[in-house]
Structure 1
Amino acid sequence: MKAGIMLPHLGENVTRENVLYTAKEAEKEGLDSVWALERLLWPLKPQTPYVATPDGSLPAQYQNVLDPLETLTYLAGNTERISLGTSIIDMLFHNPVVLARRFATLDILSGGRAIAGFGLGWSKDEYDVSGVPFKHRGERADEFLQLLKQAWTEEVVQFKGKFYNVPASKIGPKPLQKPHPRIVLGGFSPNTFSRVIKYGDAWMPIAGFGPLDQIEQAMNGLREGARKANKDPSKISAVVLTYPNVIESGPSSSPGQQQQQRLPMSGTIDQIGSDIDRLKAIEGVDHIIFSHAFSPIGKDVKKMVELTKQLARFAR
């Protein structure tokens, strides 16, 4: 299983030096990928609660986020081997032709190392500022991905849809990877799974918010859906995003109690390692991302890289 790290490109301590150090060290240590996420706004009074916090508030780190594609393109010229992925870009905030060309540019300048991670987004405020209606976003995403793939693969692109229209045109450059960079789609709904089967190459779940069996069940469902759609199920894989929370075992609790109370990807290095082993055993899971964006260790890039190196050993 491949292993990657989320870049320190968000939060109050974002610097060129930290981003560059992380990417170079990750490559030197043999990691397979670096990743960057996208956030447009940190609304003071959000219309959509954030699902990962009890009170619905957004993490303060989202107040300061480098653009993912600009960041990865910068790193393309400062690394040689490591893959460069988005985890994730909210595709509907962008024009599909413009985004197709930006990814193709990244792929060419990196020598074919781009990974295109997309999602629909969840913030109504970000939809409003992007000028995109919040309704019908699933239907819009289907068209978006169709047009994106045409722009990457077809000599002459002509598209007439409900949301996007392109007159017969040549659109270049084409990506270096053929037929196109790997498309990874985030989400956890039946519509997301259908979209992965129709237009994607991989699914991106988040491990840690529930039993890891849920990911296995979803992967089994995805592969069965691919069979029914006459698509090779072995072509559907998963890139798992994780937020490891290392906790040293305390003297006052027994190992059994610790294990019972422990969430996946939380605990000692060895306990988290057992979760990674579990993910590695799930058919189709071929890549894991370690993000430290919201933990104290994320403020120290040297410790962040060292911890990721320790965890990545379990993925091998």
Structure 2
Amino acid sequence: MAIRLGLSLPQMRQYSLGTDVPDVARAAEEIGYDSLWVFERALFPEPATQGLYGMAGVPWPDRYRDVADPLVTLALAAAATERAELGSSVLVAPLHMPFQLAKALASLDVASGGRMIAGFGTGWSLDEYAASGVRPIEERGAVLDEIIEVCRAVWGPDPVVHDGTLTKIASAAVGPKPARPIPVMLAAGNGRAFRRLVDHADGWLPAGFSAEGVEAQWRRLREMAEERGRTRPIRTVLRVNTARREKPYEGAGRQPFQGDVDQIVADLVEFAAIGLDEILIDLQGDARDARELTDVAAEVFEKARAAGV
């Protein structure tokens, strides 16, 4: 059975949100993509307080200057599609108030007929945490824990009861309820985050920086699941951010998913061999407009399937 393939929706400033998101979503579903995804970038600090992903000296990509809200983007895609799952990889959950986020995700699931995937991460940007006004970045792990608890409570049967640090619900009817249990997936790469995932989440959202690294993380995550007595499977969706160019990347130093479509597909073949459930391909950053994004997405999909992915 071929690995599932997902496509990232257009959220950046070269796209027209109201028309391009529905158009690309419909086209991706027709091409054969199994899922459609969004990510969250709340702001672009000038000057930058820290480097990209918190790495000193690494500049933020200019494409992050203007990124549409992920939940609004998903709502547009939900109204334009019928089959593809709709997910976030990732939503920086601690930037959101738990109760409102749980309500919004439940509403999206109902609107889409039960197609939502709640992909959460803790984020890393000091500036985004300062702007959000929820809790300091030092408390992001605890906030994420409560968000998961609140989502499970709000999505579950009434009366909803929760007594937490951020959210207190004495006893209430809260609707709408999701059309089906919404999977909670987490971005995680270390022991503490892996424990949270194994104990409280349905799946894992790794990033495709290297096949060897992802394979080693996946092995460790499965070992931890066995150690902690988890018996239900862990769903996996790998995110790959492409750096596409018209001509092949030649010479030393090429990173995974950097180069022309054939090189990107060759990398997909390598990563698919790890044994994950799905690969999410983000092509939007290098496309000039929605037409080019759709054309490249079709070419990547067709060549990947022809290569056995």
Question: What TM-score, normalized to structure 2?
Answer: 0.89
2:200 is aligned to 199
2: distance between equivalents of 1:202 and 1:268? 31
**Residue 204 (structure 1) shift:** 1.0
Counterpart of 2:293 in structure 1 is 301
Q: CA deviation at 1:225?
A: 1.1
Q: CA deviation at 1:296?
A: 4.5
Describe how 1:1-316 pairs up with structure 2 within 5 A: 1-51=3-53, 55-131=57-133, 132-177=135-180, 180-207=181-208, 209=209, 211-232=210-231, 235-246=233-244, 248-249=247-248, 258=251, 261-283=253-275, 285-296=276-287, 300-313=292-305, 314=307, 316=309
Task: Tell me how far apart the structure 2 counterparts of residues 106 and 65 of structure 1 sit (CA, whole Å).
Answer: 20
Q: CA deviation at 1:13?
A: 3.3
- How far apart, CA to CA, are the structure 2 residues paired with 1:52 and 1:8? 25
CA contact (8 A) 1:153 1:174 kept: yes
Cα distance between partner residues in 1 of 2:169 and 2:58: 39
Aligned residues: 303
Aligned-residue offset at 1:222: 1.0
In 2, are the aligned partners of 1:18 and 1:301 still within 8 Å (CA)? no
Give, as a single letter, the amino acid of the residue that structure 1 aligns with 2:229: N
Amino acid at match of 2:233: K
Equivalent pair of 1:11/1:60 in contact (CA under 8 Å)? no
> What residue identity is the alignment partner of 1:288?
I
1:61-111 alpha-carbon deviations (Å, 9 max, x no partner): 222222111121122122111111112111111111111111111111111
Aligned to 2:138, the other structure's residue is in SS state: coil
Give the drift of 1:185.
Answer: 1.0
5+ residue gaps in structure 1?
none
Distance 1:244 1:62, change over 3 A: closer
Identity fraction in percent: 31
CA contact (8 A) 1:138 1:191 kept: no
* 1:272, distance to aligned residue in structure 2 (A): 3.2
Task: Name the CA distance, whole Å, in 2 between partners of 1:100 and 1:83.
Answer: 18
Provide the C-alpha distance between the structure 2 equivalents of 1:116 and 1:312, rounded to a whole number of angstroms.
Answer: 26
Contact residue 115 and residue 181 of structure 1 kept, 8 A = yes
Aligned pair in 2 of structure 1 residues 147, 311: CA closer, same or farther (>3 Å)? farther
Q: Does the residue aligned with 1:174 lie in a helix, a strand or coil?
A: coil
Q: Distance in 2 between matches of 1:47 and 1:123?
A: 8
- Deviation, 1:5, is 0.8
Output one character per residue of 1:106-133: Cα deviation in whole Å (capped at 9) or x when no partner.
Answer: 1111111111111111111111111121
Q: Which runs of 5+ in 2 are unaligned?
A: none
Root-mean-square deviation over aligned CA pairs = 2.4
Deviation track 1:258-290 (CA, whole Å, cap 9, x = no partner) reads 5x643222345444333322322223x111111
Offset at residue 246 of structure 1 (A)? 4.2
